[in-house]
Amino acid sequence: MALPFKIVYHDAYDLHLGAHVFPSQKYRLVRQALVEQAVAAADDFLEPEAASNADVLRVHTTEYVEKLLTGNLSQLELMRLEIPYSKELIRAVWLAAGGSTLAGRRALENSFAVNLGGGFHHAFADHGEGFCVIHDVAIAIRRLQADGAIARAMVVDADVHQGNGTAAIFADDETVFTLSIHQENNYPVPKPPSNMDINLPDGIGDEDYLARLESHLVRALEAFPPELIFYIAGADPYEQDQLGGLSLSMVGLRRRDHLVMEAAKRRGVPLAVTLAGGYARRVEDTVQIHVNTIRAARDVALAA
C-alpha cells in the first residue's frame, strides 16, 4: 500500500543521550521500523533544512535565542531544559522546527504529512523546559502565516502533559486555537489556559478518553474552522509510560489517532503530525505507538 504523504526526518534528531529518560534514539528507531514493517519506503522521507534564526525569532525572544546560540544559558535555564545543552542539541531543535514547517507545507499540498521530530510544546517565548528548547509547531505556524499560506491554525495536543508553552504563546491570538487533552495531576504546574483544556483524572482508559476527546474536538472545530491542524500525537498516555498516569492501550492510542485524523478529513482540513513525548518502560513500545500513528494517517488518507 503506497504512502500518500511524506514523512520528514533527519538523522540529527537523535541526540544519542544514552540512558536518559528522554529516548531521543526513538526517532531513528521509528524511521527504521517504518521501513522494516513496510509502512514506508526510502523515498517517502524528506530531509528538512534547519529553521532560520529569523523564523525562530517570530516566536522566541531575542535574548533567549542569543543565549541558545552562544551557550550562555544560566544554571536555572539549563535545569529547566532537563536535557544536556550542546551544539548538537541546538542543531537538532532548529532542524525539528524546519521539519514541522516542511510538514505543514506538505500537509497543505497533500492533506497529511508527518514530522518524526517536534511537538516541543513546553517551550515558551523566553525559555525552554521539559525537554523542549524551542516551540517548533509555533514557529511553523508563524512562518506559514507570514508566507500567506494560512491565516488560521489549530493545535490539537494529545500528549499526556498539557501544552503550556503552546497555550502561553498563542494566549491572545485569535488566529490560532489551542486544544489540549492531558492528565490533570501531572506536569506542568501551573497550566496556563488553552482555548480548550480537557483535564483528565488519573488512570482514565480508552473508552472514557476517546469519548471526551471526540465531544470536545467536535465543539472546537465547530467554533473555529482552521485552515491547518497541527496534531501533537504524544505516545505518553500509554498505560506503561514512565511519566504518565493514564491507562490507554496501544489499540486505544491508535483509535485516538484515527479519531483526530478522520475529523480533519471530514472537514477537508489538512493535518500535520508531530510525535512529541513517549517514555514507555520499553522503548520498543514507544516506537510502535509512533509507527501506529503513521499507519493511522495512511489508513485515513487512503480511505474512500
Mean pLDDT of 293-297: 98
Determine the pLDDT at residue 299.
96
Mean pLDDT, the chain, whole residue set: 97
The SS3 call for residue 254 is helix
CA–CA gap between residue 151 and residue 64 (Å, rounded): 27
- Residue 136 clears pLDDT 70, i.e. is over it: yes
- Using 50, 70 and 90 to split pLDDT, how confident is the model at 16? confident
SS (H, E, C) 125-152: CCCCECCECCCHHHHHHHHHHHCCCCCC
pLDDT tens, position by position, 22-44? 999 999 999 999 999 999 999 99
Reported pTM:
0.97
Instruction: Select from 174, 179, 172 the least CA-distant residue to 213.
Output: 179
Are β-strands 153-157 and 228-232 bridged in parallel, bridged antiparallel, or unpaired? Answer: parallel
Range of the domain at 286: 7-12+19-302
CA–CA gap between residue 265 and residue 159 (Å, rounded): 21
Please name the residues in contact with 52: beta carbons below 8 A apart, sequence gap of 6 or more.
none
CA–CA gap between residue 134 and residue 83 (Å, rounded): 13
- Residue 166 clears pLDDT 70, i.e. is over it: yes
Rg (CA), the chain: 17
The single residue listed with the C-alpha cell 491542524 is 229
The single residue listed with the C-alpha cell 483544556 is 197
SS3 content of the chain, % helix, strand, coil (to 5): 45, 15, 40
pLDDT tens, position by position, 40-57? 999 999 999 999 999 999
Mean pLDDT of 171-193: 97
Mean pLDDT of 12-28: 92
Mean pLDDT of 7-20: 92
CA–CA gap between residue 276 and residue 5 (Å, rounded): 19
Q: Which residues pair with 238 in a beta bridge?
A: 248
Amino acid at 57: L
Please check whether residue 267 lies inside any domain of the structure. yes
Determine the pLDDT at residue 18.
81
When divided into structural domains, the chain yields a total of 1
- Residue 1 clears pLDDT 70, i.e. is over it: no
Angle at CA of residue 151, ends 149 and 154, nearest 5°: 105
Mean pLDDT of 67-96: 97
Please name the residues in contact with 168: beta carbons below 8 A apart, sequence gap of 6 or more.
124, 125, 192
The CATH number of the domain holding residue 53 is 3.40.800.20
- Residue 304 clears pLDDT 80, i.e. is over it: no
- Using 50, 70 and 90 to split pLDDT, how confident is the model at 19? confident
Please check whether residue 1 lies inside any domain of the structure. no
Please check whether residue 29 lies inside any domain of the structure. yes
Please check whether residue 2 lies inside any domain of the structure. no
Mean pLDDT of 191-202: 98
